[in-house]
Amino acid sequence: MINVTRLDGTEYYINPHQIESMEIKPDTTILMLSGKYLVVKEPASAVIERIVAYRRQIGGFKNEE
């Protein structure tokens, strides 16, 4: 799980394997596979860094190198 911050300052955790796409409009908007949109404070680059760190932590890159 990775943590993100809603615009109201509430932190919560999402499963990065459930992210379908991200847009910047101007806030970072994450579309989940469920169809739910999440608008977060973090820039897309920070969310991507968290996803990469999480995947390294769980060994998600072993088959991708």
Give the chain's domain count.
Answer: 1
Q: What is the pLDDT of residues 40-63, one digit of tens each?
A: 999 999 999 999 999 989 886 666
Please check the confidence at residue 65 and state whether its pLDDT lies above 70: no
Q: Is residue 4 part of a domain?
A: no
Q: Is residue 7 part of a domain?
A: no
Tokens of 53: 């760190």
Q: Is residue 23 part of a domain?
A: yes
Q: Is residue 9 part of a domain?
A: no
Per the listing, tokens 């579309």 go with 31
Please check the confidence at residue 64 and state whether its pLDDT lies above 60: no
At 29 the pLDDT is 98
Q: Is residue 40 part of a domain?
A: yes
Q: Is residue 19 part of a domain?
A: yes
Domain containing residue 24? 14-58
At 32 the pLDDT is 98
At 62 the pLDDT is 65
Report the chain's terminal Cα–Cα distance, integer Å: 22
pTM (2 decimals)?
Answer: 0.85
